[in-house]
Structure 1
């Protein structure tokens, strides 16, 4: 059953940074690219690295892992190095000034 997690206000989640959102045992990497929000599983599928400490290529909507540089498409979660290691993506909604993530 899906739940909604409040990540914060838009002003608390500025563009160009990766925001670490924790929900129970789950870690989510939340990215704001020019006001559009993306959320993916925050643990790299390759070697378990912390995607929340990685880098974002805003023009390509890609997040990379700091450990080995593996890249993931923020829209689909697809791993650009090995599609079998795709990351889970989460729906993100902005209601008024509040950013919310749907988790299972």
Structure 2
């Protein structure tokens, strides 16, 4: 089993944690962890997480690119996926609106 965490926005460090007693999946585990620092009343942290039942030798999926802009409406997040597809979200206190963007 492979787990992966990729920091895309706001995080300052990545590490791997190794629980002393393992997990429900086995006696030895490596768990990805991301950390960041809250620097204002509102902070945005964005990551991509993947959990796969395949071997560790399986190639990683194609990378995504993220752009984030702060506006009066909230944080505008655009995820650009391989092949030109993209999704947009406006994130503000108490609400998230997601739309399919133009390619």
TM-score category (smaller protein)? under 0.3
Q: Which has the higher contact order (CA 8 A, sep 6+)?
A: 1
- TM (normalized to structure 2)? 0.27
Give the strand-richer structure, 1 or 2.
2
Give the helix-richer structure, 1 or 2.
1
- TM (normalized to structure 1)? 0.27
Larger Rg: 2
